[in-house]
């Protein structure tokens, strides 16, 4: 009976030993797998953190690029505005100087003044529908206008058959040129020198800018 018990105990001890060994092996395997899983989780977390960091850096760089592009566009717009403003001022000053010089020459040269007044009368008479007209000369050109109306009467009548043209009172506020008005007051032709100068200046400025803009954009 003792031997039998001893045999069973030995068997049990051997079985327990095997079970313990198997449990230890399983525990080692589980621990190893847990360690590997932990390492994988840590690596994934680190990779996600790096990716997030890279994404934030990329977004930051993209935002900086967009901001720089906006600032550059605004700067180009401002420089372009300043360029056109300066160009306009230069063209305006150049035209003003040229027209002032032309007006000064016209005022000082009797032949040029007569030519200007005669062409103005012919254009005014031809452009107006009414045959009944009154010409109001500027203060310093009254005698020249009266002379031209008298000397060129037949020529003016050919431009407008049935023409009735009288010389009216001097036009206040101007020295050279004239204002042609229909008797009913509905039509006017302004040939006062300063008015024509301003009109010509604006028209030439417009034409100059069309040429400049076409050259730049082309």
For residue 177, what pLDDT is reported? 94
Q: How far apart are CA 217 and CA 142, in angstroms?
A: 49
Residue 107: partners with Cβ closer than 8 Å, 6 or more residues away = 113, 175, 176, 193
On whether both 71 and 113 belong to a single domain, the answer is no
The total domain count for the chain is 2
Note whether residue 74 is domain-resident. Answer: yes
On whether both 14 and 67 belong to a single domain, the answer is yes
On whether both 122 and 162 belong to a single domain, the answer is yes
Note whether residue 94 is domain-resident. Answer: no
On whether both 48 and 119 belong to a single domain, the answer is no
On whether both 64 and 138 belong to a single domain, the answer is no
Higher pLDDT, 20 or 153: 153
On whether both 123 and 63 belong to a single domain, the answer is no
DSSP secondary structure of 135-147: EEEBGGGHHHHHH
On whether both 36 and 120 belong to a single domain, the answer is no
Higher pLDDT, 91 or 144: 144
* pTM score of the predicted model: 0.59
Q: How far apart are CA 18 and CA 74, in angstroms?
A: 82
Q: What is the pLDDT of residues 145-170, one digit of tens each?
A: 999 999 999 999 999 989 999 999 99
Residue 129: partners with Cβ closer than 8 Å, 6 or more residues away = 182, 187
For residue 59, what pLDDT is reported? 86
For residue 187, what pLDDT is reported? 95
Note whether residue 140 is domain-resident. Answer: yes
- CB-facing half-sphere around the CA of 112: CA atoms within 13 A: 10
On whether both 167 and 117 belong to a single domain, the answer is yes
Containing structural domain, residue 6? 1-78
The pLDDT of 39-49, averaged and rounded, is 82
Q: How far apart are CA 145 and CA 116, in angstroms?
A: 11
Mean pLDDT computed over every residue of the chain: 85
On whether both 120 and 51 belong to a single domain, the answer is no
Note whether residue 50 is domain-resident. Answer: yes
For residue 131, what pLDDT is reported? 94
What's the DSSP call for residue 161? T
On whether both 207 and 115 belong to a single domain, the answer is yes
């Amino acid at each position: 009976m003792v031997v039998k018990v001893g045999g069973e105990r030995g068997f049990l001890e051997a079985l327990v030993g095997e079970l313990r060994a198997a449990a230890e092996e399983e525990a080692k395997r589980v621990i190893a797998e847990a360690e590997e899983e932990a390492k994988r989780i840590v690596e994934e977390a680190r990779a996600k953190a790096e990716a997030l960091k890279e994404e934030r850096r990329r977004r930051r760089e993209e935002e900086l690029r967009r901001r720089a592009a906006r600032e550059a566009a605004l700067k180009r717009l401002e420089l372009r505005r300043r360029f056109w403003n300066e160009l306009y001022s230069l063209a305006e000053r150049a035209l003003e100087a040229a027209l002032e010089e032309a007006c000064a020459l016209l005022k000082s040269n009797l032949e040029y003044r007569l030519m200007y007044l005669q062409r103005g009368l012919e254009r005014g008479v031809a452009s107006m529908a009414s045959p009944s007209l009154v010409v109001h000369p500027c203060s310093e050109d009254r005698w020249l206008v009266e002379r031209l109306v008298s000397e060129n009467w037949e020529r003016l009548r050919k431009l407008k058959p049935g023409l009735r043209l009288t010389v009216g009172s001097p036009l206040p506020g101007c020295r050279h040129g004239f204002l042609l008005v229909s008797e009913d007051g509905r039509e006017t032709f302004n040939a006062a020198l300063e008015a024509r100068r301003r009109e010509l200046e604006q028209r030439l400025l417009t034409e100059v800018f069309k040429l400049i803009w076409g050259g730049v954009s082309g």
